[in-house]
Structure 1
Amino acid sequence: APLAPSAQRIVAENNLDAGSIAGSGKAGRVTKGDALAALEARANAPAAPAAPAAPREIHAREERVRMTRLRQTIARRLKEAQNAAAMLTTFNEVDMSAVMALRNQYKDGFEKSHGVKLGFMSFFVKAVIHGLKHVPDVNAEIDGTDVIYKNHYDIGVAVGTDKGLVVPVLRDADALSLSGIEKGIGALGKKARDGQLALEDLQGGTFTISNGGVYGSLMSTPILNAPQSGILGMHKIQERPMAVNGQVVIRPMMYLALSYDHRIVDGQGAVTFLVKVKEAIEDPQRLLLDV
């Protein structure tokens, strides 16, 4: 449409699209008023929509997955233990030289005789029972205002599976030989990894052993397996310089941690228990003589 001279100036100065302006003048002529109206309309027009966002990546940055029933049970029980017990951890370290030498000397004959490998866990089970006999409080549990002292030694052994940590129980471990302990732990570990553990395999333990050392843990504060009053944390065996009889020697050392319920077990009892475990591992003959 033709533009009036005054409209032409407004269109040029404001870079309007003359073809989009409807003229109201004679023969459709675009007047100054038409140009000003178009300028005002452009000013009041909503902003052009932003360019559409790029589509989301196929691999999302987070994902929501419902916890398995096992993981929910583990979470609930751990939190209950933390809320109920007056939990405390004490530490010691153990020289593994004697047990390692014993194992190296007899491992081939042991496997040939019993059909199972001789590991460190059987020595620790024996050492723990030795300690529990000296400090019965660590093998007890609270029931209301009573303390129940257990005269049996059912040792829970923590086992990591792809679905979470479970603690099957080795029954009457005090009556088992080293080979019986190794076979029992091996069978429970296989059931755990195959998802074949029954409820009775997990109930009724009096004390628990957890071995974070197999994953490389140097030190930890294990959490109690309620309603038990003690749990021993084993850790990685690492060579360290130690002072022995005034000389610096390299020894394979392991940190031990005992978490315990201070409502039942006092500090002296906890330290005594850990010392008994240390002594039994450093001098395995003690286990034979029960001293």
Structure 2
Amino acid sequence: MAEIIVPELAESITEGTIAQWLKQPGETVEKGEFIVELETDKVNVEVISEEAGVVSELLASEGDTVQVGQVIAVVGAGSGAAAAPAQKAPEAESTPAAPQAAAAPVVEETSSEQDRTIASPAARKLAREKGINLSEISPVDPMGRVRVQDVAAHGTAPAPAKAAPAPAASAPKEDDGRTTREKMSRRRQTIASRLLEVRQNTAMLTTFNEIDMTNVMALRSRKKDQFFEQNDVRLGFMSFFTKAVVAALKKYPYVNSQIDGTDIVKNNFYDIGIAVSTDGGLVVPIVRDADRKNFAEIEGNIGELAKKARDNKLALSDMSGGSFTITNGGVFGSLLSTPILNGTQVGILGMHTIQKRPIAVGDEIQIRPMMYVALSYDHRVIDGKDSVGFLKMVKELLENPEDLMLNS
């Protein structure tokens, strides 16, 4: 018999959520085969079985929060049924198959009425442990979904304090189609918590400038085919911005720092986070040592990390330890925004959509492709001189991209 234990995830991560069981009780699992997918604050992690055998018991349900070191399943000796093609059945329509090997007592749910009961995984687990038929429970949820508290309260007399208040007449009901309730994923909860923490614990300000993208667009247009032939990667704008940011960070080192208690820690490395939007939320993988990479290497790194993010294959090491972040709201059409600082970093650059606007060039008005850029920074570390100077240098380098490429 072997226990499936939540592994060490990262120094700062102590718990995760069961996102999906890849094996069910009674199914055969090979040594080294994935058995469960965990969702953590940053990435999803697939856990393997260290032994071959049959899954005899699942000790946590999908949606449950589990701690590092916690036993979440048991694999016994023997052979069992092969995994069904669909390994994750709809939550409201089915329950895990009964274990075939020796396991803790489990009440088998055989009633078709019970199978049709809408219940959370945690509620089903508690009902099995208590030997309660889900169809006999009267849920509080107006949609009829049975929750853990409904199972726990089943068979006990309702407390007067709970029964006395009547629901407000103006409160919308979920079953009338006016609202839809959706539980936040662990990652979305973490994003929300950390963004709120940044707003509360930093003196964040934002300064703006605009960049005439004429020259960088012309250079990219001239060089993109040759660049692709030589490097097998496309030349985008992100490598220009990354190189400009690194040069500006070298001149304004406090923008590449962080606060540790009463100390300011200036980073002598340039690990640039590139924000990537995924279905599960925003993630920020890191381009390591961007100062030592050429344009092709930076574009290649960004492409690889973006693909891993979209495929949910990022490792924790891909996202830890950045010193500065770039985020591009322009890909969604954003004209102007105030990006929020990323973790303990004290600076983040926001790119925006390129829009043709009338601009004074000398004594003439010309139509130029312009981009607004924003630098959000922690005013506890960075004063106006450094913030404005940093953003002005980024602007000047991008408006003279030949100098940027020659100096890289």
Could you say which TM-score interval applies, normalised by the shorter chain? Answer: 0.7 to 0.9
Partner residue, 1:32 = none
SS at match of 1:259: strand
Is 2:383 the partner of 1:277?
Answer: no
Code of the aligned partner of 1:172 = D
CA distance 1:84–1:138, shift in 2 (3 Å): same
Report the CA distance between 1:187 and its aligned residue.
Answer: 0.5
Q: Is the 8 A contact 1:130 1:290 kept in 2?
A: no
- Contact 2:252/2:390 (CA < 8 Å) preserved in 1? yes
The question of whether the paired residues in 2 share the 8 Å contact of 1:213 and 1:236 is answered with yes
**Does residue 1:165 correspond to 2:302, yes or no?**
no
Q: Which has the higher contact order (CA 8 A, sep 6+)?
A: 1
What's the TM-score, normalizing by structure 1? 0.79
Alpha-carbon distance between aligned partners in 1 of 2:234 and 2:245, rounded to the nearest angstrom: 20
Q: Determine if the alignment matches structure 1 residue 145 to structure 2 residue 266.
A: no
Q: Give the alignment's Cα RMSD to 1 decimal.
A: 1.5
Out of 166, 181, 199, the position equivalent to 2:316 is: 199
Q: Work out which of the residue numbers 321, 332, 350 in structure 2 matches 1:215.
A: 332
**C-alpha distance 59-194 of structure 1, shift in aligned 2 (>3 A):** farther
Spell out, residue by residue over 1:32-53, the C-alpha distance to the aligned partner (whole angstroms, 9 max, x if none).
xxxxxxxxxxxxxxxxxxxxxx
- 2:190 aligns with 73
| 3-state SS in 2 of match to 1:191 | helix
Q: Is the 8 A contact 2:270 2:288 kept in 1?
A: yes
Amino acid at match of 1:195: N
Is 1:245 the counterpart of 2:362? The answer is yes
Whole-angstrom CA distance in 2 between matches of 1:121 and 1:213: 12
Q: Percent identity of the aligned residues?
A: 59
Cα distance in 1, alignment partners of residues 252 and 283 from structure 2:
26
Q: Which runs of 5+ in 1 are unaligned?
A: 1-55
Deviation digits for residues 226-262 of structure 1 (CA, Å, limit 9, x no counterpart): 2000000000000111001111011100000000000
Letter in 2 for 1:285: E
1:67 CA drift (Å)? 0.8
Contact 2:174 2:181 in 1 (8 A): no
The one-letter amino acid of 2:399's match is E
User: The residue matched to 1:227 in structure 2 has which SS?
Assistant: coil
Q: Can you list the C-alpha shifts for 1:132-191, whole angstroms capped at 9, x where unaligned?
A: 011001000000000000000000000001111111111101111101010000000001
Contact 1:155 1:171 in 2 (8 A): yes
Give aligned pairs, total. Answer: 236
Counterparts of 2:339 and 2:210, CA distance in 1: 16
Unmatched 5+ residue regions in structure 2?
A: 1-172
1:61 offset after TM fit, Å?
2.1
For residues 57 and 263 of structure 1, do their structure 2 counterparts lie closer, same or farther at Cα, with a shift above 3 Å needed?
Answer: closer
The partner residue of 2:252 within 135, 143, 146 is 135
